[in-house]
Structure 1
Amino acid sequence: MTGSITGIIPVMITPFTADNHIDWPAYERLINWYIDNGAEALFAVCQSSEMYYLSLEERLELARFTVKTVQNRVPVVASGHISEHLAEQCTELAAMADSGVDGLILVTNRLAAPDSASQQLRTHLDRLLAALPKDLQLGLYECPAPYRRLLTDQELEYCAQTGRFVLLKDVSCDLSTVKRRIALTKDTPLTINNANAAIAWPALQAGAAGFCGVMNNVHPDLYRWLQDHGSRHPNLAEELATFLVLAAMSETMGYPKLAKIYHQRIGTFEHDHSRAVPYDVREKHWAFDEILTRIELGTEHFRSRISRLGGSK
């Protein structure tokens, strides 16, 4: 599939069986759930996918399975280069490029150390660009683990001017930075897609190219409505945006297991097993189920209000 990789882009979670294997039937149900609920592209093999806890073959299987199941309904992008050494990253990325994905996402903290000079990032980036297929769309992801490496303005401009990059998953979590980045990349192929729920609505109003946050695993359709119709219904949009911000505060309660329990509750997953979150979230986070229930009730409340608008859904 070709075309723009923008809009509401869920960061995909990985279901596991009780004995710690990837649950492929559950993953297929999840893919269809995303698309049925407004996803405009899918980001497989990312931090939400628990990529640091997956073997290279598992990462590749996830990407290939996603592409096969999606069947060109939406674009599929993937990351999955987790090694520290550049030569190993080249191997990981070359294999992922052959998986059939529509775009390959480079993780910025794999390109340079937290406080390293821009020259190190550019040197590593140039080597990767030379090794990757020139006709493959590329993106950038400021993944917060194991550390967040935000791009400087100069680095962002350099990436934009290469003409190879079409997407930045922005993790600055700062509205002024998002606005500045939108201006810096104007008239280039590179678009800015915010990942922070707290600024999702004002970022969209400022021209961000969608939302790529973890709460797309709970109510992507609400973010899709906000993006597509919020400007025509400003009062409802403000109410919805407030709910989405408050709901997203649950991200600290054992995500991605939080999202897996949600999908277990609605029937997508059979198990909530997580390699990244092996502890009992209910023991650590008090009133966990009550909070999740309130998020579900709020989600249905706004879905009902949107439905009553008729053609604006």
Structure 2
Amino acid sequence: MMHAFKPSSTTLPQGFIPVMLTPFLDSGAVDYAGLSALTELYLEAGATGLFANCLSSEMYELSEQERLDVTQTVVDQVAGRVPVVATGTFPGTVTEQADFVKRIYETGVQAVIVITSLIAAESESDEVFMDRMLQLIALTDDVPLGLYECPVPYKRLINSDILENLVATGRIIYHKDTCLDLDEVKRRIAVGKGHKFGLYDAYMVNAVPSLQAGAAGLSCIQGNIFPELVVWICDHFNDPEQHAAISKVQRFLEDSMDLVHAAYPIIAKYSLQRRGFPISLYTRREVEELTPGLQQQMDHLLEEIDEIQSELGITSVFKRNLVK
């Protein structure tokens, strides 16, 4: 399998790397045609990379073969236009995790993502985590890796000291950051300097400050509802002529935080549906109900998104699709 982006020559690109949804058929089977169409939607919105087989993809509810097939579908659809990363560690021994990392890498992804909370149990020390990470690195040849502080099964944060040691191996090129702490984000960015490494913040309360501090980009669930605005922030966060607009969008990201997390990922699929993208609301994860009240709140939010994008001169990627 060809890997379109070689880490020896480049890091992952700066910008928006969405955590992808998995569309399902109403029968509960993976909708692979829908996944290909959704992949195109992210690219048309301006994503500079894609994170497949992640928590938003309902990775824990996919079978091992589905994880491979979902990742392969995205890689094939992208056809080298942007890099794709995908999760490669699930419950099991380090040896079993290393084997699956290599299988995921064979799909053609640019990097394989390690779930930090699956390397060591919540009761185990940072030393145990570091020892197992070094084992995993040793067992996975030269596969480029990333880290994701996934909140499931529990959130294991990787402080800047641990990150510094891992980045020094030369194997860690991506970090999906969920520490929610801007000072710690800055420390993590600092220890990554001089390496082929990028921090992508998932916490949109810190979106603009993280980017201004040197984050490589954003990897956030909001991109499954309004990808165009996330791309706009990544493109304009340092534009002095857009200072007022940047502040307005940042406030919007903060104000909408609770709603976009409610009944997720069903609410994201509902939003895509409302914006004109054909996707079933079927979700394998056990999440709260998408009540009529939540739907009404999201309908209002989508109206606000349209207004903001109109003010900024952003053409909706959904309207572009509808007129084809």
RMSD over equivalenced CA pairs, Å: 1.7
Instruction: Summarize the Cα distance change of 1:137–1:113 in structure 2 as closer, same or farther, 3 Å threshold.
Output: same
Distance between the aligned counterparts of 1:83 and 1:251, measured in 2?
Answer: 28
Distance between the aligned counterparts of 2:40 and 2:178, measured in 1?
Answer: 26
Q: Deviations over 1:68-106 (max 9, x none)?
A: 001111110000422143232123212111111111111
Instruction: Summarize the Cα distance change of 1:250–1:308 in structure 2 as closer, same or farther, 3 Å threshold.
Output: closer
1:1-313 map, 5 Å: 1-2=4-5, 3-5=10-12, 6-134=14-142, 136-232=143-239, 233-277=242-286, 280-282=289-291, 287-307=293-313
Distance between the aligned counterparts of 2:209 and 2:160, measured in 1?
Answer: 21
Contact 1:109 1:147 in 2 (8 A): yes
- Which deviates more from structure 2 when the two are superposed, residues 63-72 or residues 242-251? 242-251
The alpha-carbon deviation at position 115 of structure 1 amounts to: 4.4
Contact 1:45 1:59 in 2 (8 A): yes
- Which deviates more from structure 2 when the two are superposed, residues 121-130 or residues 101-110? 121-130
- Which deviates more from structure 2 when the two are superposed, residues 41-50 or residues 221-230? 221-230
Alignment TM-score, normalising by the size of structure 2: 0.89
Q: Percent identical across equivalent pairs?
A: 33
SS at structure 1 position matched to 2:256: helix
- Which deviates more from structure 2 when the two are superposed, residues 149-158 or residues 78-87? 78-87
Instruction: Summarize the Cα distance change of 1:188–1:4 in structure 2 as closer, same or farther, 3 Å threshold.
Output: closer
Contact 1:20 1:273 in 2 (8 A): yes
Contact 1:255 1:277 in 2 (8 A): no
The alpha-carbon deviation at position 268 of structure 1 amounts to: 2.5
SS at structure 1 position matched to 2:282: coil
Q: Deviations over 1:268-295 (max 9, x none)?
A: 333110011365321xxx6111211122
The alpha-carbon deviation at position 110 of structure 1 amounts to: 1.2
Contact 1:260 1:269 in 2 (8 A): no
Alignment TM-score, normalising by the size of structure 1: 0.92
The alpha-carbon deviation at position 304 of structure 1 amounts to: 1.1
SS at structure 2 position matched to 1:287: helix
Contact 2:53 2:67 in 1 (8 A): yes
Distance between the aligned counterparts of 2:297 and 2:88, measured in 1?
Answer: 32
Instruction: Summarize the Cα distance change of 1:308–1:130 in structure 2 as closer, same or farther, 3 Å threshold.
Output: closer
Distance between the aligned counterparts of 1:199 and 1:278, measured in 2?
Answer: 26
Contact 1:11 1:212 in 2 (8 A): yes
SS at structure 1 position matched to 2:85: strand
Number of matched pairs: 305
Contact 1:46 1:80 in 2 (8 A): no
Distance between the aligned counterparts of 1:83 and 1:295, measured in 2?
Answer: 37
Gaps of 5+ in 2: 316-324
Contact 1:167 1:191 in 2 (8 A): yes
Gaps of 5+ in 1: none
Distance between the aligned counterparts of 1:251 and 1:236, measured in 2?
Answer: 21
SS at structure 2 position matched to 1:139: strand
Distance between the aligned counterparts of 1:230 and 1:304, measured in 2?
Answer: 18
Letter in 1 for 2:226: H
